[in-house]
């Protein structure tokens, strides 16, 4: 066992665990952050999608030993405005477009969508239909059409 420190949803956290424990289990089992879901554990289904330093990643495939003390991890729990409590525009759009069915994949879908819009902005452009092909998050309920509509609506408010 060893100690590992990082920033989670704006707050410094320290856990005591084996170096090869995957970050998803650190979040879910040790820290009680259950927004990132477990689907495959193999970086394929994207149900666990969260952000590391503002970019989408899949904590199921990252051992805690790879996370630095300065790394900022954001999960769906950290997406709303901390001060005002306002939901993120992407979360609002999800409600407006009634996207979720069973809901299992949706935290990951939202985090992937936010990262996608931010990536396009960093490149100095808006998202295009082609960008949606980069969203690889699997939805067993088939909510893909509403996801696209919601992401477009949210992007206009981000
Ligand atoms: S559980 Fe992380 S990608 Fe499937
Ligand atoms: S809403 Fe059920 S898996 Fe996506």
Q: Whose CA is nearest to atom 4 of ligand 2?
A: 139
Q: CA neighbours within 13 Å on the CB side: how many for 44?
A: 4
Q: What's the 112 CA to ligand 1 centre distance in angstroms? A: 12
Q: What's the 154 CA to ligand 2 centre distance in angstroms? A: 19
The atom number, within ligand 2, closest to the CA of 99 reads 1
**pLDDT tens per residue across all 158 residues of the chain:** 899 999 999 999 999 999 999 999 999 999 999 999 999 999 999 999 999 999 999 999 999 999 999 999 999 999 999 899 999 999 999 999 999 999 999 999 999 999 999 999 999 999 999 999 989 999 999 999 999 999 999 999 99
Q: Which residues line ligand 1 (CB under 6 A)?
A: 38-41, 43-48, 58, 60
Give the E-state strand segments of the chain in sequence order: 2-8, 11-17, 50-52, 55-57, 72-74
C-alpha–C-alpha distance, residues 120 and 122, integer Å = 5
């Amino acid at each position: 066992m060893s100690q590992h420190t990082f920033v989670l949803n704006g707050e410094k956290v320290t856990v005591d665990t084996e170096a090869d424990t995957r970050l998803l289990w650190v979040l879910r089992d040790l820290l009680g952050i259950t927004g990132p879901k477990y689907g495959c554990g193999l970086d394929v289904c994207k149900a666990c999608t969260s952000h590391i330093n503002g970019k989408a990643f899949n904590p199921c495939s990252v051992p805690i030993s790879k996370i630095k003390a300065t790394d900022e991890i954001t999960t769906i729990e950290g997406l709303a405005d901390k001060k005002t409590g306002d939901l993120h525009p992407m979360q609002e759009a999800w409600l407006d477009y009634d996207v979720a069915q069973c809901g299992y994949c949706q935290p990951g879908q939202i985090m992937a969508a936010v990262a996608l819009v931010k990536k396009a902005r960093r490149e100095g452009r808006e998202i295009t239909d082609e960008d949606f092909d980069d969203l690889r998050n699997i939805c067993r309920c088939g909510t893909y059409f509403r996801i696209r509509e919601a992401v477009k609506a949210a992007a206009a408010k981000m």
